[in-house]
Amino acid sequence: MAARALWSGQLRVSLVSMAVDLYSATQPGARIGFRQIHEPSGKRIRYEKVVPGIGPVDKDEIMKGYEIDKDQYVLLEPEEIDAVKLESKRTFELVQFVDACEIPPLYYDKPYYLVPADELAEDAYRVVREALRHAGKIGLGQITLRGREYIGAVRDCGDGLLMETLHYPDEIRKADPLFAGLADDKVPEDLLEVATALIDRKSGPFDASAFKDNYTIAMRELIDRKRKTRKKIVEEEEERPATDDNVIDLMAALKKSLEGAAADGNGRKKAKAKSRPSRTKASGGKGRKKRA
């Protein structure tokens, strides 16, 4: 199935303008999702809109409300909400350029691909891409998506451009109350030296393929088995061994990790996540069989 553009318009940098399409850079369908099913009938569970003391209500009687106090709401008419929604502007202008390191990672929200809409736009598109790459900059502007205005950060990405929406400052939770008291004590030099050496040995180029979503893989295998056998499979939860001593010597743990990293060939091998096989039971017929 061909990808569908979420937005189409003009990307403008000063007097340079080009037609572009915006595509989501992530695939929500890659993750496992479940439905709640009524076991006796095999049908999906549906939910009714109900009011305490009244019961089920019609869809026409439901309004959107903003809670201003406990059990007190300001009711908004659909027409009032539609009037506030911004019209989808068809121009996304980059008005500021910053170094990539100047934007804290927690501001980044969701990635999108910016793609030239036609051959006429490709030349200008390449110029903007190469200019951002050589300058080491990220272009910032505001783009309207689904009736809301977002901050868009554009950077070069391989042969194309990547746009990431950013959170507004008031959407970021303050970290100071959570980290209060952590900055007072000084880190011992010997611990810092060993920890730094461990990081150096484990350092290497970023490779996302070295990490696997073991839960999704195992769940797909489970679903495939059940699809073929049509039998219930109950996963047994592996018990964790109890530890007698909860106090761990930090220096000993770091040194042990450092020795293990050295034995891995200077820490340049890819980390491969290993999943332990779990025992499963298949119920059906007269007997039970254990499956790895």
Most confident range (mean pLDDT) of 67-71, 183-187, 245-249, 274-278 is: 67-71
Q: What is the pLDDT of residue 290?
A: 42
Q: Which two tokens stand for residue 167?
A: 């959170």
User: What is the chain's alpha carbon radius of gyration, rounded to the nearest angstrom?
Assistant: 27
Q: How confident is the model at residue 117 (pLDDT cuts 50, 70, 90)?
A: very high
| Cα 284 to Cα 292: distance, rounded to the nearest angstrom | 17
Q: What residue ranges define each of the domains in the chain, with the CATH number in brackets?
A: 7-27+85-171 (2.40.290.10), 189-238+249-291 (no CATH)
Q: Which two tokens stand for residue 145?
A: 């998506």
**What is the pTM assigned to this prediction?**
0.66
User: CA torsion angle for 17, 19, 25, 28 (degrees, to 10)?
Assistant: 140
Q: How confident is the model at residue 282 (pLDDT cuts 50, 70, 90)?
A: very low
3-state SS assignment for residue 274: coil
What is the 8-class DSSP label of residue 208? G
3-state SS assignment for residue 132: helix
Nearest alpha-carbon partner for 12 in 127, 88, 92, 90: 92
3-state SS assignment for residue 191: helix
| Cα 147 to Cα 145: distance, rounded to the nearest angstrom | 5
| Cα 127 to Cα 121: distance, rounded to the nearest angstrom | 10
